[in-house]
Amino acid sequence: MKLGEIFQSVEAWKKLTSVNIQPKLAYTVLKYTRLVEEEYKIVEQQRRGLFREIAGTEEGEDAQLEAETPELMEFVARFGEILSQESSLEKIDLEFETVVDALDDKDAVISVSDLAALEPFFKIEINNTPKEKHDEKDLAK
């Protein structure tokens, strides 16, 4: 999984953790969410450091990069490189469908984009067979 997926998923994790679900499932999600948050903090720290470096400021100083400048373009490119790196975070040992089922009949406000942001973190099963075990012919059916 890429650091960018982690960085962009934090709000969706917050929404998921605000929904009342069964305690065992909630605890599993809570433990994993803490791991996601730790990875996010590392990426955010790198983002801030990179921004300060390119802006030429020290920590605690206000930093700005003007729109459409070479400095901003450098920041975007270099931060993109960070986000494209692989994370060591393993997928949660939980089927995504289990979480989605737990959200049924709840007053949860989880959007399709939230679910899309969360999906890469879970095991996905197709017809009770892990997705990784299907080949293209199976998926085309």
DSSP symbol at 2? B
Exposure of 46 by Cβ count < 10 A (0-12 exposed, 13-18 middle, 19+ buried)? middle
Pairing mode, if any, of strands 92-95 and 122-123?
A: parallel
pLDDT at 69: 93
Least confident of 11-15, 85-89, 107-111: 107-111
The number of folded domains in the chain is 1
Instruction: Say if residues 34 and 17 touch (Cβ distance below 8 Å).
Output: no
Q: Give 130's strand partners.
A: 125
Give SS3 for 125.
strand
pLDDT, the chain, mean = 88
Domain carrying residue 76 = 3-140
pLDDT tens digits for 20-53? 999 999 999 999 999 999 999 999 999 999 999 9
